[in-house]
């Protein structure tokens, strides 16, 4: 049995109160908890306070925007989101929601939590004893990155299933913090530093996800060992417009990577050249690099057929 | 902000009121505080599904749920589904198809199937398999679990 560390708990009823509680040093937000709570059991971090979004009912609302886009509360579960009739107009996003973990976890995990999923690594997401045996790593309790010992930082992989397709859709997030409200494009949310992968200010809460009106469809592909539970070994989203093909690739570094091409083959070559998978996952990086080319080409080809 | 709270909730239709520390999992609350040991500790980090309970009718992993988050909630554990005297149809089919070996995963699997068949009385084979992806069984190889699930379709 793996116990939780000790922490305080608060379930504020207003966003204002939640923001103020989140400014407490060591505070963390608790949404679905499907990634946060296992991480606490593994002692990846030990927050002094968990601020629950349970009573912030506005985070579970959604509405159609005047321009035909959607505003989605960050506290909607992935299951609630993929079940919205309006989401059929965003097929890549719907598919991405349905490939996260398992149906039970999709009923608990939130879209906000997925967008802000902590970066992951073979050497980081492990029990305490496992990590102790290798002296920890740069991201937790250690000073060496086992993926790139001679590198300059932490390369833990961005692993949020919904993000590559949200990036292609041009989605934005609404962040509410002590200094007010700001809108940030998904494509500007990630720092590229595995130690602190999200460009959030202290106390900020992701309140809404804003989707533009439905445009060219996106497709989502997830490579993984098993068809359930596992995080992606590669995440690929692709779309096609008059100006050509675009793909966003993730699970290959601390931030997703966007590439463009004129044909599926061209796009696949662009991704192959731009992306260097590392040892953040169990399979060999050289294998993942080869498969990346195939995954990107297949994603783009499926758009061609449609 | 506090390190413990008074928690009021309903479990299997019965109201309970208990003082719980913030870091108590729903699984430990059910097993240790209420003595309902049908929900199991498996992986304890949200992978295996052995701790599955229904919260407002929806499957949820009790090992990665804080008890304090369940304030006001209505929870159903395997004990509330049926027992030897009055088994639920899903349980009856598990028995008839010999779909349990060690039985450790069975409560969680029965609960996800009960929820599935309530929402979708005629699920497709692929939907049944998708939903069972939430739960790991290390004995049966799933063949008999799938047989029990198929037999329960229409009977639940």
pLDDT digit string, tens, across residues A73-103: 999 999 999 999 999 999 999 999 999 999 9
Does position A304 have pLDDT exceeding 80, yes or no? no
Taking CB atoms and an 8 Å limit, are A33 and B69 in contact across chains?
Answer: yes
pTM comes to: 0.97
Are the CB atoms for B38 and B79 separated by under 8 Å?
A: yes
Contact B68 A11 (CB under 8 A): yes
Residue A262 pLDDT > 60: yes
Note the pLDDT of residue A10: 98
Q: Does A49 contact B1 at a Cβ distance shorter than 8 Å?
A: yes
Inter-chain residue contact A104 with B134, CB threshold 8 Å: yes
Residues 6+ away with beta carbon under 8 Å from A140:
A44, A45, A124, A131
Q: pLDDT tens, B25-61?
A: 999 999 999 999 999 999 999 999 999 999 999 999 9
Residue A305: is its pLDDT beyond 90?
Answer: no
| pLDDT recorded at residue B154 | 74
What local confidence, expressed as pLDDT, does residue A151 receive? 87
Does residue A153 have a pLDDT over 90?
yes
Burial class (CB in 10 A: 0-12, 13-18, 19+), A34: buried
Owner of token pair 């049908």: B38
Q: Is A131 helix (H, G, I), strand (E, B) or coil?
A: helix
Strand, coil or helix: A116:
coil
Q: B49 to chain A: which residues are within 8 Å by CB? A: 102, 104
d(CA A112, CA A3): 26
Using the predicted structure, report yes or no on whether residue A196 has a pLDDT greater than 80: yes
State how far residue B47 is from chain A, nearest Cα, in angstroms.
7
**Apex B44 CA angle, A200 and B110, nearest 5:** 115
Six-digit token string for A65: 């925007």
Q: Is A228 on the interface with B (CB under 8 A)?
A: yes
Residue A146 has pLDDT above 90, yes or no: yes
User: Which domains, and CATH codes, for chain B?
Assistant: 4-80 (3.10.20.30), 89-152 (1.10.150.120)
Does A26 lie at the interface with B, CB-CB under 8 angstroms?
Answer: no
The arithmetic mean of pLDDT across residues A62-72, rounded, is 97
Examine the pLDDT at A306 and tell me if it is beyond 90.
Answer: no
B7 in Cβ contact with B46 (< 8 Å): no
The band of B156, judged by pLDDT with boundaries at 50, 70 and 90, is low
Could you tell me if A191 and A204 are in contact, meaning their C-beta atoms sit under 8 angstroms apart? no
Residue A294 has pLDDT above 60, yes or no: yes
Does pLDDT of B116 surpass 90?
A: yes
A180 within 8 A of A203, measured Cβ to Cβ = no
Helix, coil or strand: residue A108: coil
Q: Is B154 exposed, middle or buried (0-12, 13-18, 19+ CB in 10 A)?
A: exposed
Query: Please, what is the average pLDDT of chain A?
Result: 97
- Closest approach of B88 to chain A, Cα-based (Å): 21
Helix, coil or strand: residue A177: strand
- Three-state DSSP class for A247? strand
Smallest Cβ–Cβ distance between A104 and the set B2, B61, B66 belongs to B61
User: Count of CB contacts below 8 A, A vs B?
Assistant: 95
Nearest alpha carbon to residue A218 among A243, A248, A242, A189: A248
Closest Cα in chain A to B50: A104
| Partner-chain contact A2 B69, CB within 8 Å | no
pLDDT band at A152 (very low <50, low <70, confident <90, very high): confident
Which residues, numbered 73 to 132 in chain B, qualify as contacts with chain A under a Cβ-Cβ cut-off of 8 Å?
Answer: 112, 130-131
Separation of alpha carbons B122 and A27, rounded Å: 45
Nearest CB neighbour to B133, from listed A9, A24, A228: A228
Token pair belonging to B63: 């090992």
Average confidence (pLDDT) over B107-127: 97
- Closest of A186, A177, A23, A162 to residue A97, by C-alpha: A162
CB < 8 Å from B in window 32-51 of A: 33-34, 37-38, 41-42, 49-50
What is the rounded distance in angstroms from the CA atom of residue B78 to the CA atom of residue A35? 25
Chain B residues near residue A38 by CB distance under 8 angstroms: 45-46, 64
Chain B: nearest CA to A229, how far in angstroms?
A: 7
């Amino acid at each position: 049995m793996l116990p939780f560390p000790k922490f305080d708990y608060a379930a504020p009823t207003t966003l204002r109160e939640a923001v103020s509680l989140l400014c407490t040093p060591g505070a963390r937000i608790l949404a679905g908890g499907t990634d946060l709570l296992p991480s606490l059991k593994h002692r990846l971090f030990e927050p002094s306070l968990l601020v629950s979004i349970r009573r912030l009912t506005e985070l579970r609302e959604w509405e159609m925007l005047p321009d035909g886009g959607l505003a989605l509360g960050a506290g909607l579960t992935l299951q609630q989101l993929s079940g919205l009739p309006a989401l059929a107009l965003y097929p890549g996003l719907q598919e991405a929601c349905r490939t996260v973990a398992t149906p039970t976890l999709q009923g608990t995990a939130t879209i906000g939590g997925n967008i802000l999923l902590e970066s992951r690594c073979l050497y980081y997401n492990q029990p305490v004893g496992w990590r102790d045996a290798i002296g920890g790593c740069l991201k937790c309790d250690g000073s060496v990155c086992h993926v790139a010992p001679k590198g300059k930082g932490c390369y833990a992989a961005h692993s949020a299933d919904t993000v590559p397709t949200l990036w292609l859709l041009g989605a934005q997030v609404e962040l509410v913090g002590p200094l007010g409200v700001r809108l940030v494009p998904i494509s500007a949310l990630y720092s590229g530093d595995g130690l602190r992968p999200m460009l959030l200010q202290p106390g900020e809460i992701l309140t809404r996800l804003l989707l533009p009106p439905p445009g060219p469809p996106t497709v989502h592909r997830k490579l993984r060992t098993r068809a359930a539970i596992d995080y992606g070994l590669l995440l690929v989203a692709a779309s096609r417009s008059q100006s050509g093909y675009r793909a966003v690739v993730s699970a290959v570094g601390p931030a997703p990577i966007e590439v463009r091409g004129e044909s599926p083959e061209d796009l696949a070559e662009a991704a192959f050249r731009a992306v260097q998978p590392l040892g953040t996952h169990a399979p060999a990086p050289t294998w993942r690099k080869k498969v990346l080319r195939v995954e990107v080409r297949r994603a783009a080809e499926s758009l061609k057929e449609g | 902000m506090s390190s413990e709270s008074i928690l009021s909730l309903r479990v299997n239709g019965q109201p309970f009121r208990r003082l719980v520390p913030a870091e108590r999992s729903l699984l430990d609350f059910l097993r240790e505080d209420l003595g309902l040991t049908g929900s199991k500790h498996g992986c304890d980090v949200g992978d295996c599904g052995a701790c599955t309970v229904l919260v407002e009718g929806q499957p949820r992993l009790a090992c990665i749920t804080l008890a304090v988050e369940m304030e006001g909630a209505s929870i159903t554990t395997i004990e509330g589904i049926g027992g030897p005297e009055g088994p639920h149809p899903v349980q009856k089919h598990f028995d008839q198809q010999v779909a349990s070996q060690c039985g450790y995963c069975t409560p969680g699997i029965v609960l996800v199937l009960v929820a599935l068949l309530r929402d979708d009385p005629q699920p497709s084979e692929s939907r049944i398999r998708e939903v069972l992806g939430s739960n790991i069984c290390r004995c049966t190889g799933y063949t008999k679990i799938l047989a029990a699930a198929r037999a329960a379709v229409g009977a639940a």
